[in-house]
Amino acid sequence: MAKQSRNGKGRADLDAFRVQSTGTDLTTNQGVPIADNQNSLRAGERGPTLLEDFILREKITHFDHERIPERVVHARGAGAHGYFTVSESLEKFTRAKFLCDPSLRTPVFVRFSTVGGSRGSADTVRDVRGFATKFYTPEGNFDIVGNNMPVFFIQDAIKFPDFVHAVKPEPHHEMPQASSAHDSFWDFVSLTPESTHMVMWLMSDRAIPRSYATMEGFGVHTYRWINADGESTFVKYHWKPVRGMSSLVWDEAQKLAGKDADFNRRDLWESIEAGNFPEFELGVQLFDDAQADAFDFDVLDPTKLIPEELVPVQLVGKMVLDRNPDNFFAETEQVAFCVSHVVPGVDFSNDPLLQGRIFSYLDTQLSRLGGPNFHQIPINRPVCPFRNGQQDGFHQMEIRVGKTAYDPNSVDGGLPKEKPVEDGGFASYLEQLRGDKRRVRAGSFKDHFSQATLFWNSQTDVEKEHIASAFGFELAKVERVEIRERVLGRLANVDADLTARVAAQIGLAAPKASKVDGPLRRRNGKPAQRIESSPALSIIANAGEGSAKGRKVAILVADGVDGPAVAAMKAALKKAGVTGLVLADHLGTVASTDGEPVAVDHTIVTMPSIAFDAVYVPGGVDSARALAASGDAVHYVAEAYKHVKPIAAAADGADLLRQAGIVRAGQTGSDAGNGVFVGTPAKIGAAFTRALAAHRVWTRTDQIAVPA
């Protein structure tokens, strides 16, 4: 008979099933004591991971099956269809057909995502963003499964479950959702010095992108390209947004999480529907073994990037996302990306994190999508024929015709049969391996701080302030003082000024740097070339390279507005690919000075300034007076100003800006250096659009004086 629970309500007693998650010895699920839980079993310290590593496989297999049916990580995403074209043949480096034929238009499906949160979390949380691309090539599907940051938290796949468990909600109370601002995450990274570089990226504006169309993407790992002669070239993948990079500010990100949790996915959908298609150029860093050996870091280390000053990024093709999915579940939710999806001419390196992902991703899909036939789901099907002896299984959707399901056979004429390498069959790179079979971390992976310092040095003053503030915000939510102290100890090895800024925010003394392993000395005994700063790592330093396409402008109106000015500004914005939406205190229409009613798209209270990239206030004496008397309208423009967005107004409309403290009394003209433009659409339209392309006015220095 079941025992009564302590609360006397008849629940069966679960004490027999309660176990402590801690203990003396770390073991496998079979009770085998684990001597090394930090490194996978590999052939030589820089060699590939071995399939016989039962500890790695048990750990990752369990991790891969922890969530059903939601993805364990990258659960919340948005997808889009498009196409890719290569600019010129890359046959010198690879025999992949889709990279060697400029006339070929390769279909793609891209899924953007957050990493840590559940499907119900918000888009704008501070997090890494997934950037996964599936190419439907003539030789099979090829997936670049990457992120919007070029490095990662860990060096070895055996640590991936630990990292994700640490950043996920804490298991005893399932909080906080989609946030790294809690004890378990900072406990893990403070005890894992290899995470320091990635944490710098996570605390930067890269972790709160303005839109999926304005963030970079990276393949993270070093891969190999193989040409027709069997020659190998190392390659790193980059996606460069044609619109340029832009991010939210932290205050916006927090408010959007509450006011529009779907902000990024909505922006992607609406941008494509409006014909403002997101575009990305594919960039590659190509280098050989000799170059790799000259770097002061190991190219197999996924916590390291290759500065563009050492290996420039070559732009080799363009991807355009021009169609939204027809069904979210059938496409965006069921799409299955696997690092192991490669085509002839593409191969792997011995990066130990990559080696584990090759196994893990396929294993995950077996659980998520119900069995081994997930490749038959329409969104996952190759566009080229596929045939082999695999049969039956859950969700078999094909009626196989034939008498054999094995190879070799003579009954079906020996078909299908192997395709020789010289005719296009896949072949792995011929690599000589040598080394002891053991669990080990390569000595060339030991420098954990030099590139974290490089990232810090590469930021503008504004970005440095954001990074320091982000550390302060997150660590202020960490309850255990010893964890905060350990994090400061890690930061002390990055930069003394950063450490002092963060320490001041959390009320602790700034420690001094400890003795750490520095950059590698290469095998020739000479120190490699050092890069102290890389402008490519800064968003703001590259802001001038973008366009205004895809931006949104709020046009604030009331009865008596200058209707022709509204129409003229909307037309000027549309020409630049910008959407202008009319906002008033009510839906319907407002009266215009020319007698033609102006249609209202949204109300001011339902579409806040944080949902737009700029604000325009047209003329009309009555409209200007009504807006200046509206607390909602005053707050609207003041908040946009605080978030350093461009502000434009007609002469009459400037009354609202004066009421908000943005325009000084008596000021009648523009203050372009401060991102404020006053005048007719014909006079200010071009300058306003240029400011939109830059996204924010970081030179604005008087935001604090404006109440919002």
Q: How far apart are CA 555 and CA 392, in angstroms?
A: 59
Q: How far apart are CA 51 and CA 359, in angstroms?
A: 9
Q: How far apart are CA 181 and CA 184, in angstroms?
A: 9
Cβ(185)–Cβ(167) below 8 Å: yes
- The full 3-state SS of 56-84, as one line of letters, equals HHHHHHHHHCCCCCCCCCCCCEEEEEEEE
Residues 6+ apart with CB under 8 A from 254: 124
Strands 232-241 and 217-218: antiparallel
Backbone angles phi, psi at 677, to 5 degrees: -125, 125
Cβ(313)–Cβ(284) below 8 Å: yes
Which residues lie across from 603 on neighbouring strands?
584
Q: Angle CA(262)–CA(265)–CA(271) in degrees, nearest 5?
A: 125
Cβ(35)–Cβ(28) below 8 Å: no
CA distances from 671 to 501, 633, 638 (A): 32, 21, 16
Residue 440 in tokens: 């080990």
CA distances from 98 to 44, 103, 147 (A): 34, 9, 22
DSSP-derived letter for residue 509 is: P
Q: How far apart are CA 107 and CA 382, in angstroms?
A: 10
Cβ(138)–Cβ(101) below 8 Å: no
Q: Which among 39, 141, 147, 276 is annotated as catalytic?
A: 147
Q: Could you tell me how many helices (H) and strands (E) the chain has, helices first?
A: 17, 20
Q: One-letter amino acid identity for 637?
A: V
Strands 552-556 and 579-584: parallel
Cβ(194)–Cβ(445) below 8 Å: yes
Which is nearest to 111 in space by CA: 335, 436, 272? 335
Look up 635 and say whether it is catalytic: no
Q: One-letter amino acid identity for 588?
A: G
Q: How far apart are CA 696 and CA 365, in angstroms?
A: 41
Q: How far apart are CA 45 and CA 434, in angstroms?
A: 9
Q: How far apart are CA 510 and CA 508, in angstroms?
A: 6
Q: How far apart are CA 609 and CA 661, in angstroms?
A: 17
Q: How far apart are CA 417 and CA 581, in angstroms?
A: 59
Residue 101 in tokens: 């034929």
Residues 6+ apart with CB under 8 A from 703: 641, 642, 644
> Cβ of 376: how many Cβ atoms within 10 Å?
15
> Cβ of 408: how many Cβ atoms within 10 Å?
8
Residue 396 in tokens: 């078999």
Residue 521 in tokens: 């000395």
Look up 373 and say whether it is catalytic: no
What is the helix (H) or strand (E) element at residue 582, kind and residue range?
A: strand 579-584
Q: Which among 39, 74, 148, 341 is annotated as catalytic?
A: 74
Please list the active-site residues. Answer: 74, 147
